[in-house]
Amino acid sequence: MYIIVAGGGKVGYHLAKLLVTAGHEVVLVEKQRGRYLELVRLLGEAVMLGDSSDAGVLKRAGANRSEVLVSCTGSDEDNLITCQMAKHLFMVGRTIARINDPSNEELFRALGVDGTINSTRLIDGMIEREVDSDALIPLLSLGAGKVEIVQSEIAEDSTCAGKQIKNLNLPPGCLIISIVRDGNPAASSPETRLTAGDTVVALLSRGCAAEFQRILAG
């Protein structure tokens, strides 16, 4: 799958790294030259210099053949403009935008953005996690909340530690898509064995979160 990630901050960098590790073709667009040079050292040819809210930059990034575009700059306005150009000028199938102001979420959806990354919700999840280490942290909401990408950490006392993913008896609608171990993301497979301290990234259908959390907590 060919994916464009707009914005090379922490969110954009880690997302691009995760997608590359999972085997996708990715281009990360960053407009600040200094940050661009840092990213080139980390990701090489997957990084492109330019302002993603410029149609010419999106064209050079290959938006006309991109299946997904994720705009995760620090500006809601830029993210909306980028997603709308991708959708209406280049017919990108799915657009996802980072939202810093929660009041903008409904507007983004009304204007055709397919999914959102709600920064406030993400922070709330991190705060909750300080209270409950087994809590799921929402990362992306897709399809008007019908599907979401979440992350959770395998605790030291979890019965999942040491098990292969295929032996977790996950319910339909739950799919583990990546494991982050020692700070390094890696694509998962049914044979992947979980260890304590792993961060599990999963795709969940609506209604699966509670059961998935119960399984990981052991």
Q: List the domain boundaries for the chain.
A: 2-116, 132-217
Q: What is the DSSP letter of 64?
A: G
Class assignment of domain 2-116? Answer: alpha beta
Residue 205, Cα to own-chain centre: how many angstroms? 16
Mean pLDDT, the chain, integer = 84
CB 98 within 8 A of CB 72: yes
> Is the whole-model pTM more than 0.85?
no
Q: Distance between the two ends of the chain, CA-based, in angstroms?
A: 34
Alpha-carbon distance of 191 to 62, in angstroms, equals 35
Identical topology for domains 2-116 and 132-217: no
Fold of 132-217: Alpha-Beta Plaits (3.30.70)
**pLDDT tens per residue across span 167-217:** 998 888 888 888 888 877 777 888 999 999 888 888 888 788 888 888 888
User: Residue 117: beta bridge partners?
Assistant: 98
pLDDT level of residue 58 (50, 70, 90 thresholds): very high
CB 42 within 8 A of CB 13: yes
φ, ψ (nearest 5 deg) of residue 101: -105, 110
Alpha-carbon distance of 193 to 162, in angstroms, equals 6
Alpha-carbon distance of 33 to 186, in angstroms, equals 28
Alpha-carbon distance of 167 to 159, in angstroms, equals 11
